[in-house]
Copies of this chain bind each other. A is one copy, B any other.
Amino acid sequence: MNFKKVVVAGGGVLGSQIAYQSAFWGFDVTIWLRSEASIGRATPKLARLKDIYVDTLEAMKTSTVYPRGFATDKLSDEEIDAMKERAIKAHDSLTLTTSYEEAFKDADFVIECIAEDPKQKIAFYTEMAKYLPDKTVIATNSSTMLPSTFASYTGRPEKYLALHFANEIWKNNTAEIMGHAGTDSKYYDEVVDFAKAIHMVPLCLKKEQPGYILNTMLVPFLTAAEYLAANDVADPETIDKTWMLGTGAPAGPFRILDIVGLTTAYNIVIMKPEAKDPNSNAGKIAAMLKKYIDEGKTGINAGEGFYKYK
């Protein structure tokens, strides 16, 4: 893997984290943003990440379990201090630009993290292709779309695939890697190596799968739990307790839903056509979630969802 210059397109929650983590582990990182307003929104996110990285690293001095995206083996205080310095340098090293030419003209690797809107993604790939050198490999971080949808717009379908991160990537360091049928394994392997280089655990898919691995299992599991509560078979606390006692898991489905966010869960269920029928299971689940959402109980970030957090 010869990636040196990495460009992250988009400065949202994940884009800013991916850019920061890549810079922290030594890559030359540029963040391409759509507008000056986007730069204005990304800048405080990156400042906040600097604080999080420095504080989290400092806390490692008195902890036995480290955030896996930072380290797994025990480190000395001196080693941790050196990492804190690197975290500060990483912040200062980031280049933010709205210029396609500046961002992409000598990029080795682009990670696309723009809005989950096919039209915006197609317009972006089409424009970017005009500036990219031949060598550039491109990955999308899309959670919901497939690389085959966009491959033809990149000008290099064989160098295009998906690299999907989880929120708080310095702790939740999974990277699901998924090509489309036309992805060349040579570039797939380079992206696997890149994931390892920024201390992610690469989780390799052998073919395209909507939802990747994790969401393919998580969605039917959470839907079954929502069904039980929406049909008043049992209450969320009982359902969570059953799952935890039955499988040894540290959290049940409603605790997970609070982390995912009830609005996301609601948006998933109303995509089903039968959700329009209030007597269908999807309709009952949508009604249950909407009741919580209307009360402001959208999950852990709101301080309350199925559980209270403050």
**Measuring CB to CB, which residues of chain A are less than 8 angstroms from any residue of chain B?**
166, 172-174, 176, 201, 203-207, 209, 213-214, 216-221, 223-225, 227-228, 231-234, 238-239, 241-243, 245-251, 253, 256
Contacts and interface: CB of A to CB of B under 8 A. Distances in A.
A217 B234 CA distance: 13
Given A228-B213, A249-B248, A205 B220 contact: no
Contacts of A224: 216-217, 219-221
Contacts of A204: 234, 238
Nearest to A219: B224
A247 B203 CA distance: 14
B221 A239 contact: no
A166 B250 contact: no
A246 B172 contact: yes
B205 A233 contact: yes
A218 B217 CA distance: 10
Given A214-B243, A250-B249, A228 B201 contact: no
A203 B242 contact: yes
Number of copies: 2
8 contacts: A203-B234, A204-B238, A205-B233, A206-B232, A213-B238, A217-B239, A220-B221, A221-B224
A126 to B, nearest CB: 29
Interface centre among A204, A234, A256 (most CB of B within 10 A): A234
Given A203-B242, A233-B209, A248 B251 contact: yes
A219 B247 CA distance: 13
A248 B245 contact: no
A251 B246 contact: no
A245 B165 CA distance: 12
B242 A174 contact: yes
B207 A246 contact: no
A219 B224 CA distance: 9
Contacts of A166: 246
B249 A247 contact: yes
Nearest to A249: B249
A241 B201 contact: yes
Contacts of A253: 217
Contacts of A219: 224
A225 B247 CA distance: 15
Nearest to A201: B245
B241 A203 contact: yes
Given A217-B228, A248-B249, 20 more contacts: A166-B246, A172-B246, A174-B246, A204-B234, A205-B234, A206-B233, A206-B234, A207-B231, A207-B233, A209-B228, A213-B238, A213-B239, A214-B243, A216-B227, A216-B228, A217-B221, A217-B225, A217-B242, A219-B224, A221-B224
Given A166-B246, A214-B243, A220-B221, A238 B207 contact: no
